[in-house]
A and B are shown apart, each in its own frame.
Chain A
Amino acid sequence: MGEARDGVKVKRVVFVTVGTTCFDALVKVADSQEVKDELYRRGYTDLLIQMGRGSYLPTKSTGDDGSLAVDYFTFSSSIADHLRSASLVISHAGSGSIFETLQLGKPLIVVVNEDLMDNHQSELAEELAERKHLYCARPLTLHQTIASMDLNSLVPYSPGDATPVAKLINRFLGFPEES
C-alpha cells in the first residue's frame, strides 16, 4: 500500500486537526517522539498538524533522515483538501470534523479533549467508536491506539438522512406528501 509502482515510497499523510479550538494537548502528543515513531513504523511518511488557536509549536522536520516529515499551520480555508489527501486523520471531537472525515471515507482517530468543561463531545466519539466507524482516544492513549489499530476492521459510515425529519415537518404543516 505504501509502495508506488516504481518502488519509491509514496506520501502517506497523517492529518491532525483541532478545528477552531485550542487543543495543545493533542498537538503536543502528536508531536511526541513516541507517536511519531509509531506512525513511521506503520508506514506513514508525513505528519501535517492544523493547530488552531493553540500556542504549542511542533518541531518542523523535512523527514530526510529516515523519519516522519512534520509540518504545521494554524488555520486553513481548505481543510477539506487536507482531509482528502490524508491517509489517516487524527481529529478533535467536534461533530463537524468527525462527519466530514467519515463522509470522505478516511480512517479516523478522534482524540477527546479532557479539559473541556461540558464534554458532551466525547459521547458522539464513543458512540461512533462502539459502532466501529472510528477509533476514540485520549491524548495519553493515542500512542497505544495507533499501535493497536486495525484499519480494515473499521465499518464505513453511511451519512444520516434528513428526509424522515423533512417528511414529518411537511406532514405537520399539512403539505401534501411528496410523490
Chain B
Amino acid sequence: MEKNSSFCFSNLSSNLPITCLITFITIFLHRVLNVIYRTGKPLGKRVSPQRPLSTLIVLGSGGHTAEMINLLLVLRKERFTPRFYIAAATDNMSLQKARVLENSLADSSETKGLSAEFMQIYRSREVGQSYVTFVWTTLVAMAHALWLMIKIRPQVVLCNGPGTCIPLCVIAFFFKVVGIRWSSIFYVESIARVKGLSLSGLLLYKLRIADQFFVQWPQLQRKYPRAHM
C-alpha cells in the first residue's frame, strides 16, 4: 500500500513538467487560435478618431517602394503617427525616397518631421549568398527584427512584398498572441504579381497573418477570394 502510494507520487512528480508543458501549449494554442479568429475582423468605430496609430512601414526596393509611397500619399498622416520606416540594410535608395516624402510633408503642413523614424534591418539572405551561412544570418536577422519590433511595437503594419516583411509580420503576430501589442497588418501585393502571389504574400495569406490582404489584378482575386481589390 505504502509502496504503491509513493510510486504514485513519484509518477505524478515526474509527470509534473509534462503536465505544465501540455497546459502551456494548450493555452498558447488557444491564444493562437483566438488571434487567428480575431485577425481580419475590423476594429470597429474608434472611440476617439483623433487618436493616431503608430505605424510600421516596410519598404522593399524599386517598384515596391514606389507603390508604397503611392499608398502613403493618400493616407491621412495625422492618423498614422508616428511612422517607422524599415528597409533592408543593403538598400539605401528606399529610405532616401521615404525621407523625401516625409520632408515634403513637413514642408507642406505643420506636422513635424519628428513623427517619422527610419531604420535598416539585416536581411536573412542576400541574393547570391551561400546556404552555409544562411542559418547564422537568419538567426541574426530574426534577433535584429525582434529588437526593432520591441522598440516600435506598432499598431499598424503596412507592407507590400519584400522578404524583409516576413520576420516583422511574424513577430507582430507573436506580439498579438502573447498580448504585448495588438496590431493590424495590411499587405498589398505588388502590381507586378498578375497570375500568382509572391512568396511573402502567399505566406501571409495562407497563415492568415495579414488582417487585410490586397491584390491589384482581378485574376488574382479570383484565385485568392479573401483578398481585396
> What is A's interface to B at a CB cutoff of 8 Å?
19-20, 94-96, 99-100, 120-121, 123-124, 126-127, 160-166, 168-176, 178
Contacts and interface: CB of A to CB of B under 8 A. Distances in A.
Contact of B184 (A121, A164, A173): A173
A160 B191 contact: yes
B62 A174 contact: no
B194 A124 contact: yes
Contacts of A127: 194, 217
Given A168-B214, A172-B42, A175-B79, A123 B49 contact: no
A117 B212 CA distance: 30
A176 B75 contact: no
A172 B213 CA distance: 12
Interface residues of B, number: 37
B1 interface: no
Given A94-B62, A100-B66, A173-B43, 15 more contacts: A95-B192, A120-B198, A123-B194, A124-B193, A124-B194, A162-B67, A165-B71, A165-B214, A169-B186, A171-B42, A172-B186, A173-B46, A174-B43, A175-B79, A176-B45
A96 B53 CA distance: 30
Contact of A19 (B44, B62, B196, B217): B62
A173 B53 contact: yes
Contact of A172 (B67, B192, B211): B211
Contacts of A99: 63, 66, 191
Contacts of A94: 62-63
A6 to B, nearest CB: 40
B188 interface: yes
Nearest to A176: B49
A126 B217 CA distance: 13
A96 B66 contact: yes
A169 B156 CA distance: 10
Chain B CB within 10 Å, residue with most, of A126, A161, A166, A175? A175
B216 A160 contact: yes
A163 B74 contact: yes
Nearest to A161: B74
A12 B50 CA distance: 54
B129 interface: no
B193 A120 contact: yes
30 contacts: A20-B62, A94-B63, A95-B66, A95-B67, A96-B63, A99-B191, A100-B66, A120-B192, A120-B193, A120-B194, A123-B192, A123-B195, A124-B191, A127-B217, A162-B67, A162-B70, A162-B74, A163-B74, A166-B71, A168-B212, A170-B76, A171-B42, A172-B186, A172-B211, A173-B46, A174-B43, A174-B44, A175-B79, A176-B46, A178-B76
A124 B74 contact: no
Contacts of B191: 95, 99, 124, 160
A173 B185 CA distance: 11
